[in-house]
Amino acid sequence: MLNGRRRTSAAISGVLLAVVIGSVPSSPAHAEPTIDEVQHRVDRLYHEAEQASERYNQAKVELEELRKDLDALEADQNRQDGRLATVREQVQDSIISQYEGTSISAVGQAVVSDDPSAFLSQLTTMSAYNDIQTQLLADYSTELKALDIRKSATDDRRAQISAIEQQLADEKATIDDKLAEAKDQLSTLKDQEREELLASRGGTVRLPTDVPVSGRAAAAVQYALAQVGDAYVYGAAGPSAFDCSGLTMMAWAQAGVGLPHSSSAQFGSGAHVSSSDLQPGDLVFYYSPISHVAIYIGNGLIVHAANPGAGVLVAGVFSMPYAGAVRPG
């Protein structure tokens, strides 16, 4: 009888357990991401792409300077080649003129090695048994050392340029990868949800109609505000698409101020000002390390090229992690 009650109790418990388990909703193995989750991922990918883009821009600035330096070094090396050739001719002419008609004159004519170091070695050997002018030999040796220094500097610049060019290729690949990944994230949403997400990326700050600004800064602010609604494209600097530093560079160019196409380089383009002393036209920088720049337009607002999903828009000055500000010019 006892065993029967136990079997009945066990059966009832099994039925209850089945009911309880059946009443618990199961979670799908691969739940679709929410709009907030996708927005977070897309924002992160856009930011990572912009970081790579600004490193790319900075590398281009450095590459331009290195190429200018290389041009100067190559010109200096060519001048040094000319000076060395002149001294070499003087040395050889001296040998030939001093011993014209002798066997040593023939030796002097034979000293024609194309290798400057080999030529110096020949002269050193000859000086052991002839009367070559010591000063000319010393001059040649000095000019040869100077040429070697210039060749070394030129080779170093070429190596630096090669490294920068590889960095440019790497950063461009990173930009493309991050942007493609962001597009993949957006493609997981339905059309309506994607439109809502992209609309939310554009912000809600209205375009100001009257910005209190004068002088050269007025030209920069007016230009930047005129671009609101334009597209964001990595590496672009107008006329209808910009990245962040491309917009600020072109805006201040309207005021006759030249800025490099790099947010980190622009951070050193003027006097630093505190956030409490911001004036319209000031450049405002974001993130650490710096990878984004905007133009302050007053009333706690900035205009900036935000990202590919938002384009050029007006936002709050502290809508991103604030890093500092600079007053160009």
What's the pLDDT at 113? 53
- Centre a 10 Å sphere on the Cβ of residue 161 and count the other Cβ atoms it contains: 16
CA–CA separation, 303 vs 298, rounded Å? 10
Q: Exposure of 241 by Cβ count < 10 A (0-12 exposed, 13-18 middle, 19+ buried)?
A: buried
What's the pLDDT at 27? 45
Which CATH architecture is the domain 36-187 placed in? Orthogonal Bundle (1.10)
What's the pLDDT at 128? 43
Which CATH architecture is the domain 204-328 placed in? Alpha-Beta Complex (3.90)
Whether 36-187 shares its CATH topology with 204-328 is answered: no
What's the pLDDT at 156? 87
Per-residue pLDDT of the chain (329 residues; tens, 9 = 90+): 444 444 444 443 443 333 333 444 444 445 676 777 777 788 888 888 888 889 888 888 888 888 888 788 788 778 877 777 777 777 667 666 655 554 444 444 444 455 666 666 665 555 543 445 566 666 667 777 877 888 888 888 888 888 888 888 888 888 888 888 887 877 766 666 666 655 555 554 566 666 777 788 999 999 999 999 999 999 999 999 999 999 999 999 999 999 999 999 999 999 999 999 999 999 999 999 999 999 999 989 999 999 988 899 999 999 999 999 999 97
Q: Is 0.85 topped by the overall pTM?
A: no
What are the catalytic residues? 244, 292, 304
Sign of CA dihedral 171, 176, 178, 179: positive
- Centre a 10 Å sphere on the Cβ of residue 45 and count the other Cβ atoms it contains: 22
What's the pLDDT at 106? 47
What's the pLDDT at 100? 57
DSSP alpha helix (H) spans, the chain: 2-23, 35-98, 103-110, 116-126, 134-187, 191-201, 216-226, 244-253, 263-266
Instruction: Report whether 248 contacts 295 (CB < 8 A).
Output: yes
Q: What ranges do the domains of the chain cover?
A: 36-187, 204-328
